Amino acid sequence: MASEKEMRNIGEAHPMKSGDGLYSYSNNSYLQRGVMNAAKQIVSEAIVENLDILKFSSSTTVRVADLGCSIGPNTFFAVQNILEAIELKCQNQGLDSQIPEFQVFFNDHTSNDFNTLFSSLPPNRRYHAAGVPGSFYSRLFPNRSLHIVHSSFAIQWLSRVPKKVVDRSSHAWNKGRIYYPSAADEVVEAYSAQCAEDMARFLQARAQEIADGGLMILIFAARPDEIPHSQLVANIMHDMLGCCLMDMAKKGIVSEEKVDMFNLPLYHMSDKELEAAVERNGCFSIERMESLPPISSTLQSLVSTRHKAQAISFHVRAAMEDLIKAHFGEEILDQLFDSYSKKLEQEYSLFESAGTSALNLCAVLKRKTMNC
């Protein structure tokens, strides 16, 4: 068991692009929002069905945390939805006069732009807001202090790139690629093992922090168990970015060695992998696990393939820009994402044929009433 200090150092930061510019996360997170709208109903129902309000009657404060909240606005919509569901539940139970006070904790890495987050907080919010800096792969909150934990499109980020995939002496060295879908089995296994290790830490920390009967709602880009890694839309998308980087290496714009040493700290867990992690942990029951439409469904409203390709490119850039900048330098960004847009447009048919293999999952976990 790692000490608390060691645990704090776990988890590299992968901040979304800050501020509110063209490539900022706040202006390029509307794709996630389409999926979150679909999740809204599931989250509401899960709270109404599973949260035991009477258990909280001795405490007048319900504490909610959004893990990996980034800088908004999606986190504010998610929180609002959760609070409305709790209020609805109170009303359903005839507890109108006992609607609790809410304290909402917005968590992300220390390097997240909390200044922007705080300045965007809804002015007429009905909750006390707090920001909590740190990796959710470590402890962030006091024992048994949270009632609802929410996390949307965050747990697919690993705490780090698996060591083996950037180790030349390893069979899992991922030469010439930045991701695992079309790589050797050893590379996939290294990614999968890192995810299992991270989920063990994540669930262990949350089991300590969530009160008995409390809920955890996890929304994440997943892989249907029967679909091979190489056919998952999100994976194809990220593999294409790797191809663009290799093209730039062939043209001498970046060194091939640098591309070899760069890997994305992302992994798309399957529903089975989540179930296995929850079972190993032992402190949670899975109350619901539902598919959400893929992010690409949000693109249907865009008319041309070019616009769709550009929307994906902006979306990936908002999420990846800081990572790529840190490794390759700022100067390659525009060229890389220009060629990425073009590649996405040229090969857009790949996404359409892979349509059903795209998947987002919404899992609702409940903290068991037991010490573990």
Residue 343 within binding range of a copy of itself, rule CB under 8 A: no
Q: Report the distance separating Cα 273 and Cα 203, nearest Å.
A: 13
Q: Report the distance separating Cα 225 and Cα 359, nearest Å.
A: 10
Residue 124 within binding range of a copy of itself, rule CB under 8 A: yes
CB crowding 303-321: b at 16 or more within 10 Å, else e: eebeebbbbbbbbbbbbbb
Nearest to 39 by CA among 252, 352, 294, 213: 294
Determine which residue in the list 20, 77, 87, 133 makes contact with a copy of itself, applying CB under 8 A.
133
Residue 101 within binding range of a copy of itself, rule CB under 8 A: yes
Determine which residue in the list 41, 57, 119, 300 makes contact with a copy of itself, applying CB under 8 A.
119
Residue 118 within binding range of a copy of itself, rule CB under 8 A: yes
Q: Report the distance separating Cα 104 and Cα 198, nearest Å.
A: 24
Residue spans of beta strands (DSSP E) within 140-192: 146-152
Nearer to a copy of itself, 205 or 363 (CB): 205
Within residues 43-72, the interface with a copy of itself by CB under 8 A covers 60-61
Q: Which stretch binds a copy of itself (CB under 8 A): 74-82, 112-120, 299-307, 350-358?
A: 112-120
Nearer to a copy of itself, 22 or 130 (CB): 130
Determine which residue in the list 27, 44, 145, 170 makes contact with a copy of itself, applying CB under 8 A.
145
Nearer to a copy of itself, 110 or 304 (CB): 110
Nearer to a copy of itself, 207 or 233 (CB): 207
Determine which residue in the list 41, 57, 111, 353 makes contact with a copy of itself, applying CB under 8 A.
111
Nearer to a copy of itself, 142 or 329 (CB): 142
User: At CB < 8 A and 24+ separation, what contacts does 229-232 make?
Assistant: 229/180, 229/181, 229/188, 229/268, 230/181, 230/182, 231/354, 231/357, 232/181, 232/268, 232/354, 232/357, 232/358, 232/359
Q: Report the distance separating Cα 88 and Cα 233, nearest Å.
A: 37
Nearer to a copy of itself, 31 or 64 (CB): 64
Q: Report the distance separating Cα 297 and Cα 293, nearest Å.
A: 6
Q: Report the distance separating Cα 298 and Cα 295, nearest Å.
A: 6
End-to-end CA distance of the chain: 15
**Exposed/middle/buried for residue 26 (C-beta within 10 Å: 0-12, 13-18, 19+):** buried
Per rule CB under 8 A, count of chain residues that contact a copy of itself: 35
Structure tokens at 40: 């809204």
Residue 144 within binding range of a copy of itself, rule CB under 8 A: yes
Residue 131 within binding range of a copy of itself, rule CB under 8 A: yes
Nearer to a copy of itself, 44 or 120 (CB): 120
Residue 80 within binding range of a copy of itself, rule CB under 8 A: no
Residue 110 within binding range of a copy of itself, rule CB under 8 A: yes
The binding site for a copy of itself (CB under 8 A) comprises 4-5, 8-9, 60-61, 101-103, 105, 110-111, 113-115, 118-119, 121, 123-124, 126, 128-134, 139-145
